[in-house]
A and B are shown apart, each in its own frame.
Chain A
């Protein structure tokens, strides 16, 4: 589904991603872990199509297409969804209008008629139940004044409406209380089909108790320095990143 080959990204002259290769197949859940500043969000943004920095090398293929040539909105319509680490507040733009516009753009892309207002509201209600988002939140402006946890739930809510093929969840678990974490995980699991895939970026093993990853990667200093099964996450939780950093630093300086 997604192949990243030797991806290098520079921001303001500084190399942030230093040759990342990653292969995600349909039906898989990948977890990406790694210390702060290692480049996880940068990778996620590049996948979603944010134009920042320079892609100096590498290739990304998504469902047989050259992803780097696609505009952000087309990637979304092709099924990529980024759950933002820091969702943006957009005053004056209502959640309802935002999601309705987005969904109808997706439908248009697939040659479907736009959803009527009443059908859309019905769908919203359904999905709100799924992620247990407060009813009031969807009557407000996008993320405006939402608490940290509410913002994260709102990301999952949007994901539930857009039903992506490849969801990239950037620390959707941070800032969530235990109940919310379960709800978010539950939302992700319910949306899971053999046809779609998920990349979860997280710092905590905790989330991976609920969303069981097939593969765990460790991103450090712009590179994937370790890949393993779900037991790798357990090991990281116990030992932290130092042992990996040491290994890598020895390799790079040695």
Chain B
């Protein structure tokens, strides 16, 4: 049996052996997808480097490791998630902690949230509001050629569910804190669903970080529905250690005249792969997909973006920037698909990377598929070094070399950070990025919260 088949068998067995436990802890709706999903996974397998969109990322060593535990929920997980105490520092937000992929189960009642908003466990929501969840669950995450999606559908038992009623606006963000913490190596999967009904407005911050030094692999799928004229903003801040792999798949489905912003800020992590999909499904929808990545040592960050212009008069904009140090590697793959009927599309894409050493390596690939004729599209990628002239200019004013380099890197990152419109949050990200560049980032400074431990 080759590797590919062995992996497929391992995960199929895992479902078979633990099906009872997984299903008992999940909702009927989620369970009804598992059989089909595991079949699809068996067909697709893990995406390998022959897969065009995983060409630069090797997942195999992460999947063929022996984890001590696999996403099978223990009662204790939920209790731990509930009891995990975090203190908000300077950022005013509603916090929800997921421990090893499990949200606290408190019937979606989060203290202080305005009416018309439900935040909590997807499994609980599927049981209490089957109509709503059924309408959206599994509708936006399409497998494509990516076996990681059905793998998640087959095995994840819970995740976050957020529901915003029509016309409700939330100005204070909801902060989802994904913690992994375990005394053995662990494979984590969770599944999130976010629904923003017509004319509603929802800002979300997601913080990914690893609290213990064990090896972690996380495969998380998030589906988002953004209704007509609704606004959705998701900012993800990733700070995991070198022994952690984070694979995120975010599918954002946008209806007419909606606005959505996704921003992936990767500060640290052994392997990070973010796939971000925006489907501009209704006329006049707009999206911004941003990203910022910093890597050093042997880290690898891969951002895959897919913008699907399915309707006319939509605007999309991709901006990804990063700084790679040491032997680190990075990849960016930005797809723009303009369907036949999507006339008057505006689509922009930009990817700039700075390599600090000769050994760091970046692959950047635009992928434009345009089937409409009245379309404005632009894309550009640069991979270069720090600007020597600028460095000399700063030094000639008395700023030492290290500080000057730092200022240039920070200046380079500004373009992405400046797109964060909430001032308090922007300042917080500024601080984190500066700390990252100074090499002062500790595990617990990652989130906008400080944890007890």
User: Which residues of A approach B to under 8 Å, CB–CB?
Assistant: 48-50, 71-73, 75-77, 81-82, 84, 87-93, 97-99, 101-103, 105-106, 109, 141-142, 158, 162
Contacts and interface: CB of A to CB of B under 8 A. Distances in A.
A174 B177 CA distance: 56
Contacts, number: 85
A174 B341 CA distance: 54
B400 A73 contact: yes
Contacts of B387: 88, 90
9 contacts: A73-B400, A81-B396, A90-B387, A92-B411, A92-B413, A93-B407, A99-B397, A101-B407, A105-B400
A48 to B, nearest CB: 5
B412 interface: yes
A76 B392 CA distance: 11
For the complex of A and B, list the 7 residue pairs with the smallest distance between their C-beta atoms, beginning with the closest.
Answer: A92-B411, A92-B414, A76-B398, A93-B411, A102-B397, A72-B395, A88-B393
A90 B395 contact: no
Given A93-B407, A93-B408, A141-B411, A102 B398 contact: yes
Contacts of A49: 392, 395-396
Contacts of A142: 393
B5 interface: no
B390 interface: yes
Contact of A90 (B390, B398, B401, B415): B390
B413 to A, nearest CB: 7
B399 A105 contact: yes
B452 to A, nearest CB: 34
A84 B393 contact: yes
Contact of B397 (A50, A91, A98, A141): A98
Contacts of B407: 93, 97-98, 101
A50 B413 CA distance: 26
B411 A102 contact: no
A98 B396 contact: no
Size class of B's contact patch? 20 to 34
B87 interface: no
Interface of B: 387, 389-390, 392-401, 403-404, 407-408, 410-415
B179 to A, nearest CB: 32
Given A72-B392, A98-B394, 19 more contacts: A73-B401, A88-B389, A88-B393, A90-B387, A90-B390, A90-B394, A91-B411, A91-B412, A93-B394, A93-B407, A93-B411, A99-B397, A101-B407, A102-B394, A102-B397, A102-B398, A105-B399, A105-B400, A106-B398
A89 B314 CA distance: 34
A32 B236 CA distance: 56
B398 A48 contact: no
Contacts of B393: 84, 87-88, 90, 142
A90 B415 CA distance: 12
Contact of B395 (A76, A84, A106, A162): A76
B412 A92 contact: yes
Contact of B401 (A50, A71, A91, A97): A71
Contacts of A158: 397
B396 A82 contact: yes
Contacts of A91: 411-412, 414-415
Contacts of B401: 71, 73
Contacts of B398: 73, 76-77, 102-103, 105-106, 109, 162
A72 B398 CA distance: 7
Nearest to B392: A50
